[in-house]
Structure formats: C-alpha cells, structure tokens
Structure 1
C-alpha cells in the first residue's frame, strides 16, 4: 500500500515538504516496481533515484538547520547518516536481486516485503520523530 502524504507529515517548510513528497513518490514507485520483479531496469532506476534524492535532501535540510541554528541539528544529522546506511543496505539488496537471473517468485516476494517494511519505517518514522521538531522553526526559508 502506498504511503500517502497528508498535512500531518508537513514540517511547515515548503521546500522540505516538496523534497519529502518526492522521496515518498520514489518509495511508492519502488514498491510498485517490486511487485513486478521482471522489471529489473525499473528497480535499479527507482532505487538509484531514491538514493540520490535522499542524499540531496539531507544535505539541503542540514544546510537550512545550520543556517537557523536548529537546536536538534546534530541529532537530525546522526539520523540522516543512519538512514543513508540503511538505504545503502536496501540498495544492495535490490542490486543483488536484480543481478540474480535465477530469482524465484518466493524470493521476489520476500525481497519486496523486506524492502517495503524498511523503507516505510525508515522515512515516515524519521519525518514524524525527527523532522517534526523543525515545525514552526524555519517556516518557508530556502
């Protein structure tokens, strides 16, 4: 089931919210591609796009936080580093899956469940627990 954006995920900064929406869209696209494991090019494309978008987003978010002396900057930065490490694991799982020509339907399903669970917990949990602390702090600063 796709992650749906709603106002409860908004941190109140249009630029950060747009980047969050993009990442959610990429997670949803990757989940859809995982339901069609024969579309291996799509899997690689979406995981690569997600990886790059997350990396760029974290850099942008941290720059904003430093500029506004966000009191939870270090905690958020540490969270970003952990998230990127987890995303590296997910990317490796998907690349191994894509490169294995003999993947069974059951292995495809297991990979899909594992990746989907990691990504949902990974990103939504981060927004709700860490990024919400930015709400009202930076408004729509770019």
Structure 2
C-alpha cells in the first residue's frame, strides 16, 4: 500500500507501481503546471530514496541525492511563496513558517546523514517524507491552491 493510499482511504486508489512509495496522480495537483511539475520532481526524488531502501543495495549517493532534493525543495518553496504573495494569500505567513521548518529539518538530515545508522536515517527521512507530502502538499498546498494558480 502506498503512502497516498494511506492518506486517501476514503477514495479507491489504483495500486502504485511496486517501486514507488508515492505515486504521482491528480490528488497532488494544484492546477499550476510549474508547481505541479515541482511536486512531481519532489515525488521522483523521494521515490529514489524509497527504491534504495527496498533494494537494500544502498547504491544511492545519499549526500548527492539530499543536495538535489534540497535544491528542488528550496526552489519549489520560493516559487510557491512568490505566487502566494502576488495573489495576497492570507495564509502566507504560516506557509512560510512551515517551509522554513521543513528546510531546517531537511538540512539537519543532510548534515547528520553520514553519522546516522541506516535505520535512524530511514526513520528521519520517512518522517520528513510524510511531513512534506501530508502536511505540505496535501494540506497546506491544497488549502492554498487558488493562490497558487498562474
């Protein structure tokens, strides 16, 4: 069962491919092609981590992948904040606060990754993934989608 299945138990969701923790579908769309593409990039990056865990080969260069994820997330958050400011979104301050907390959390994971055991690193990454998808995309972004449209 994918993460989105768990989040949307009230809607039947087709099974995701076995190599995905999160399957991109329209439940993640806010109706803005730029933001939606960034969400897809984030999902792809998160699925790369998942695939590495599933196959237990751990061939993934975690340091490089975390840097890539940070660039994607930072760009995405900046784009969202700019759109929300332009559209005078009333929840912008809270959204920015949530973004900064997630950026701090991701930075802490990246800095501490080399010294964490595999299980601890996986737990911290899974907690971050859950927060990013559930709190950010499926909650904050969906609530603000009218302010994220082009």
Deviation at 1:125, TM superposition (A): 2.2
Contact 2:88 2:147 in 1 (8 A): no
1:30-57 CA distance string (max 9 Å, x none): 23234546536x2122111001110111
Which residue of 2 is the match for residue 19 of structure 1?
38
Which residue of 1 is the match for residue 17 of structure 2?
none
1:87-115 CA distance string (max 9 Å, x none): 11221232334xxxxxxxxx323422332
Task: Provide the TM-score with structure 2 as the length reference.
Answer: 0.75
User: What CA distance in whole angstroms lies between the structure 1 residues aligned with 2:111 and 2:57?
Assistant: 15
Q: Does 1:117 align with 2:136?
A: no
Contact 1:5 1:21 in 2 (8 A): yes
- Structure 1: runs of 5+ lacking an equivalent: 98-106
Deviation at 1:72, TM superposition (A): 1.1
> 3-state DSSP class of the match of 2:31?
coil
Task: Provide the TM-score with structure 1 as the length reference.
Answer: 0.79
After superposition, the CA RMSD in angstroms is: 2.0
**Aligned residues, how many?**
130
User: What CA distance in whole angstroms lies between the structure 2 residues aligned with 1:23 and 1:126?
Assistant: 12
